[in-house]
Amino acid sequence: MRRSVVIGCAGYLPENIVSNSELAKQLDTSDEWIQSRSGILKRHIAASNELTSDLAYKSADAAIIASGISVLDIDLIVVATSTPDVTFPATATAVQAKLGAKNAVAFDLQAVCSGFVYAMATVDNFIKSSQYDLALVIGAETFSRILDWDDRSTCVLFGDGAGTVILQAEIGNGDLNDRGVLSTHLHSDGRLHDLLYVDGGPSSTGEVGYLRMEGKEVFRHAIEKMSSVTIEALKANNISADDIDWFVPHQANKRIIDGTARKLGIAMEKVVLTIDKHANTSAASIPLALWTAMSDERIKTGDLVLIEALGGGMTWGSGLLRW
Ligand code: ACO
């Protein structure tokens, strides 16, 4: 059976770091409030001339160098983003040009904070169906550009960044011991649009708009839906939470992650947390967390890794992979 195996992973965070205390100088908030409600200590903010494609390119380039592949062998580039450089063409095509990956097909995918899980599922299906062999799955965001910096209930929660995972086709036995993506489960419910959205766009207001959120409702749906889609992954693979080596959730809020892990019975020692270092980077948060845990040698070849996310739409999903 063809499997999509991780052969490289890297992240990129913009140089400019903004602490909670710095935000509190211009906003009616405090380091104590932000830390206690979200677990966030700081966030990285892209420079004004730094585009989503620049962040994506830097993470992709680092992953390509680390994996030793040739850019000319890349068949497919999928960028999960809700903050594209421009309305069109796709940010993925800008990344393709910057990399010189002239043999690749490149497109964007938009599922907000679930974007990376959706992109991984999409790429895995292209690889499993033998259409492509080598793909970049990128989550990249400049959420700082769509935040209302006067709205303290949202702007303190997000940051900018990018992460890339390289997936390559390998033949496995078709069982749980195979390396690569073992399953993906995706869901959407468009009726929940108003809980988390951007109040603008090309065909509505003609302006980019700002992120709007019903925080308490998002919180409730996040724990419920991320738990259920994780249980779906465990059941589909006939395993229990104890079998997981690393749980890498979307980094939206430490309280959501704690609540979900508790509900699933996953020990906090197995949970990868990066929310404190760079806030919620939306589609970039899972690849950044994978990169962090791989770089500090927690995630090793052969480990069973479970990812999950929820985002605007609402969209949610999970993926099980053996590293
Ligand atoms: N600083 C200080 N006070 C604030 C701030 C702030 N930055 N923001 C809101 N407050 C105030 C509110 O005005 C309110 O004041 P009031 O009681 O006088 O009206 C008070 O703090 C409490 O506000 P709540 O909304 O009740 O705070 P809550 O405990 O629900 O925490 C939070 C808010 C952090 C947004 C929480 O609801 C949450 O995390 N929701 C999930 C949202 C999320 O993670 N979204 C990410 C995108 S979706 C995803 O990625 C899964």
- Ordered by where they begin, the domains of the chain are 2-171 (3.40.47.10), 180-322 (3.40.47.10)
The predicted-structure confidence for 63-111, as pLDDT tens digits, reads as follows: 999 999 999 999 999 999 999 999 999 999 999 999 999 999 999 999 9
| Banded model confidence at residue 5, pLDDT cuts 50, 70, 90 | very high
263: nearest Cα among 212, 226, 300: 226
Establish whether residue 35 lines the binding site of ligand 1, counting it when its CB lies within 6 angstroms of any ligand atom.
no
| Banded model confidence at residue 8, pLDDT cuts 50, 70, 90 | very high
Establish whether residue 280 lines the binding site of ligand 1, counting it when its CB lies within 6 angstroms of any ligand atom.
yes
Give the phi and the psi of residue 294 in degrees, each rounded to 5: -75, -40
Establish whether residue 37 lines the binding site of ligand 1, counting it when its CB lies within 6 angstroms of any ligand atom.
yes
The predicted-structure confidence for 117-166, as pLDDT tens digits, reads as follows: 999 999 999 999 999 999 999 999 999 999 999 999 999 999 999 999 99
The predicted pLDDT at position 105 comes to: 98
Residue from 44, 113, 253, 278 carrying the catalytic annotation = 113
Using the Cα atoms of residue 10, residue 232, residue 282 and residue 315 in order, give the sign of their dihedral. positive
- With b meaning 16 or more CB within 10 Å and e meaning fewer, what string describes 229-251? bbebbbeebebebeebebbbbbb
Do 147 and 210 touch, CB atoms closer than 8 A?
yes
| Banded model confidence at residue 302, pLDDT cuts 50, 70, 90 | very high
